[in-house]
Structure 1
Amino acid sequence: MSDGWEASVHSWDLSTGVDGPGTRFVLFLSGCPLRCLYCQNPDTWHMRDGQRRRLESIMEDVELYRRFLKVAGGGVTASGGEPLLQSEFVTRFFRAAREWELPTALDTSGHLGLRADEELLAVTDLVLLDIKSFDPRTYRRLTGEAVGPTLAFAERLASVGQAMWIRFVLVPGVTDDPENVAGLAGFAAALGPAVERVEVLPFHRLGQHKYDALRLPFPLADTEPPDDALIRRVVGQFADQGLPVLSA
């Protein structure tokens, strides 16, 4: 896969209003350096578990929906796993989509932001940036890694005016501390107009069956989804910073 024309692919799907504007062709790439406690897709952790596919084969799938995606105001999204593990391929995928006048979106944790070079960003219309926690200790507890690379990537995107949606998963007892939310809200507001919106995504356990199938323990099996009061409080903290904020 080193030539950038082939990728380890988990699957693809069509979605509306979730993975970028309009209806999207979402390509899920295999492999991820993080091990988030709430990960919904443990079956995407390893590149070796994906199906090796050439770009031209994938574009044949996109071609089936090309006209519909344009009419529906959508485009293509590279997700995962972590798509920046296969950044050369994503660049080629986005370039091919752009040639068909399909807008592109990169769904990433930002941990491998250094792999998003100028060539990739030049063919990226929108970055869906998952900032899982602002507090460094909480971030490491949640993902096993440091938050610094993600915050640096966000600042870099803002410096070049790259449009982004910031996503924050609200996990009771993990990411809901008021100071953690306030820190992230202040950071996002300081990024300026590049942040088109913030999405507060309530934690859920819908992916637990995948852990069961893989015979893996689900770390948050005993954690309840956030109640309406908690969601309103967190949404309010982002709104108080003047950020456009939505909650799923």
Structure 2
Amino acid sequence: MGRIHSIETMGLVDGPGIRTVVFFQGCHLNCVYCHNPDTWNVKEGYDISSKDLVNKIIRYKPYYRKSNGGVTLSGGECLLQEDFLIEVLKKCKKEGIHTAIDTSGYGKGNYDEILKYTDLVILDIKHVDDDGYREITSYGIEELERFIKSLNKNSCSVWIRHVVIPGITDNEEHILKLKEKISNIKNLEKIELLPYHSMGEYKYEQLKIPYKLKGIKDIDDELIIKLDKIINKK
């Protein structure tokens, strides 16, 4: 059994084609900009078996085929429920469904087995050095480094995502360091800089969780375009 937060059908931004996106419940990082704090607590959400979950996923196989889509297992942090995650990935592969995981690379360490059944990894890199990583997540960067080592031993395609936060990750020097850091990742297909936005702040108020970035304005679109040109320049 696993514990999930929700399921989104007909997703269009979490991997190629039309996708079913499964949001796993539970995340240790609690990033300062997270817009889904309701996924943090592993005791919330609801239980489901891998069989029942995959039965929901395969209902949409005709849409996957037409659009080269599939399933994306997200979160929260899907790596924290590694046994359940592996079961779901295996079953989806047997059904011929393209599999993706959307992750921060912060799990329990059995990454080689997980990646064996994963076609695409969408890796959210929070920061480029240990101090910055701790500022955003309260955890060190070591686990991400371990995940990248496993990633480089496997044949998964990789998309990198990075949130650009005003005053923290929004300068050229930082983006150049990020570019250098990801230059050794194999099978890298895509790099996306995501603009910080405060749309999820209301959830913190509802959950009575302090919002650490309160008062920081949404980032300027022109700056994102400028930084995107830097990181995607060959």
> What's the TM-score, normalizing by structure 1?
0.89
Q: Does 1:226 align with 2:193?
A: no
User: For residue 115 of structure 1, what is the aligned residue in structure 2?
Assistant: 110
Cα distance 1:19–1:85, how it changes in 2: closer, same or farther (>3 A)?
A: same
Cα distance 1:163–1:96, how it changes in 2: closer, same or farther (>3 A)?
A: same
Question: Offset of 1:209 from its aligned partner?
Answer: 2.1
Q: Does 1:27 align with 2:22?
A: yes
User: For residue 191 of structure 1, what is the aligned residue in structure 2?
Assistant: 185
* Sequence identity percentage: 35
Match 1:142 to one of 127, 132, 136 = 136
Corresponding residue SS for 2:43: helix
Distance 2:8 2:159 in 1: 20
User: For residue 245 of structure 1, what is the aligned residue in structure 2?
Assistant: none
Q: Does 1:68 align with 2:63?
A: yes
TM-superposition CA deviations, 1:123-158 (whole Å, max 9, x none): 100111110110221111011111122133224312
Q: For residue 14 of structure 1, what is the amino acid of its counterpart?
A: T
Distance 1:150 1:84 in 2: 12
User: For residue 7 of structure 2, what is the aligned residue in structure 1?
Assistant: 12
Cα distance 1:22–1:129, how it changes in 2: closer, same or farther (>3 A)?
A: same
Cα distance 1:49–1:113, how it changes in 2: closer, same or farther (>3 A)?
A: closer
Q: For residue 88 of structure 2, what is the amino acid of its counterpart?
A: F
Question: Offset of 1:181 from its aligned partner?
Answer: 1.5
RMSD: 1.6
Question: Offset of 1:15 from its aligned partner?
Answer: 4.3
Q: For residue 170 of structure 1, what is the amino acid of its counterpart?
A: V
User: For residue 3 of structure 1, what is the aligned residue in structure 2?
Assistant: none
Corresponding residue SS for 1:18: coil
- Aligned pairs for 1:91-240 within 5 A: 91-112=86-107, 114-116=109-111, 118-192=112-186, 194-240=187-233
Distance 1:113 1:150 in 2: 11
Distance 2:49 2:150 in 1: 31
Say whether the 8 Å CA contact 1:10–1:29 is kept in structure 2: yes
Question: Offset of 1:30 from its aligned partner?
Answer: 0.6
Say whether the 8 Å CA contact 1:135–1:180 is kept in structure 2: no
Q: Which runs of 4+ in 1 moved over 6 A?
A: none
Q: For residue 26 of structure 2, what is the amino acid of its counterpart?
A: G
Distance 1:115 1:207 in 2: 31
Question: Offset of 1:110 from its aligned partner?
Answer: 0.6
Match 1:49 to one of 44, 50, 68 = 44
TM-superposition CA deviations, 1:58-98 (whole Å, max 9, x none): 12321322222222211011111100110111111011111
Q: For residue 125 of structure 2, what is the amino acid of its counterpart?
A: I
> What's the TM-score, normalizing by structure 2?
0.94
Structure 2 unaligned blocks of 5 or more:
none
Q: For residue 5 of structure 2, what is the amino acid of its counterpart?
A: H
Distance 1:24 1:189 in 2: 28
Distance 1:187 1:154 in 2: 11
Number of paired residues?
Answer: 234
Say whether the 8 Å CA contact 1:165–1:197 is kept in structure 2: yes
Distance 2:90 2:134 in 1: 34
Cα distance 1:46–1:115, how it changes in 2: closer, same or farther (>3 A)?
A: farther
Distance 1:146 1:237 in 2: 27
Q: For residue 142 of structure 2, what is the amino acid of its counterpart?
A: G
